[in-house]
């Protein structure tokens, strides 16, 4: 089971993930207000993630005039163009972004897409078969 912590909004919190919880954590933040934007970031092994932005969804039964969703789907890192994600992240009128597919595939370099179509090298460079190889292919 993932380590869990409950913290009030705007309070710093530190939770350590470990192999025992598959390097996952759960943070329940209290005192949040629907419609307000909140920002977060992660720190790991001396590195930090870009600042993330989120907005709380309406509570069950709350009436809203509209909700706007950004939708994206399967994204093969080896030969995709990803500027559309930046455009979607820059939008302030979206209430949620829903990703309906994968971004990591098990293919090795030059197999799918072909070497001629591939825009960037994959890591690991060979077909992904083991969990260790899968972990190597994930970004921070």
Range with the largest mean pLDDT of 86-90, 101-105, 126-130: 86-90
Cα 90 from chain centroid (whole Å) = 15
What are the boundaries of each domain within the chain?
1-59, 66-140
Query: Does residue 58 carry a pLDDT above 80?
Result: yes
Going by pLDDT thresholds of 50, 70 and 90, the confidence category of residue 140 is: very low
Going by pLDDT thresholds of 50, 70 and 90, the confidence category of residue 138 is: low
Query: Does residue 87 carry a pLDDT above 70?
Result: yes
Query: Phi and psi (nearest 5°) for 69?
Result: -120, 140
Mean pLDDT (whole number) for 46-74 = 87
Q: Are 113 and 78 in contact (CB under 8 A)?
A: yes
Query: Does residue 139 carry a pLDDT above 60?
Result: no
Going by pLDDT thresholds of 50, 70 and 90, the confidence category of residue 103 is: low
Q: Which of 18-22, 54-58, 108-112, 132-136 has the lowest mean pLDDT?
A: 132-136
């Amino acid at each position: 089971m993932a380590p869990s912590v409950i913290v009030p909004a705007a309070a710093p919190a530190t939770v350590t993930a470990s192999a025992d919880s598959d390097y996952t954590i759960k943070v329940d933040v209290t005192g949040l207000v629907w419609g307000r934007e909140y920002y977060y970031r992660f720190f790991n092994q001396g590195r930090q993630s870009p600042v993330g932005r989120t907005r709380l969804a309406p509570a069950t039964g709350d009436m809203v005039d509209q909700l706007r969703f950004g939708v994206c789907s399967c994204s093969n890192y080896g030969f995709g163009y990803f500027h559309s994600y930046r455009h979607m992240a820059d939008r302030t009128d979206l209430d949620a972004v829903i990703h309906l597919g994968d971004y990591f595939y098990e293919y090795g370099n030059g197999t799918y897409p072909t070497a001629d179509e591939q825009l960037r090298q994959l890591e690991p460079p060979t077909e992904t078969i083991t969990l260790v190889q899968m972990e190597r292919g994930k970004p921070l």
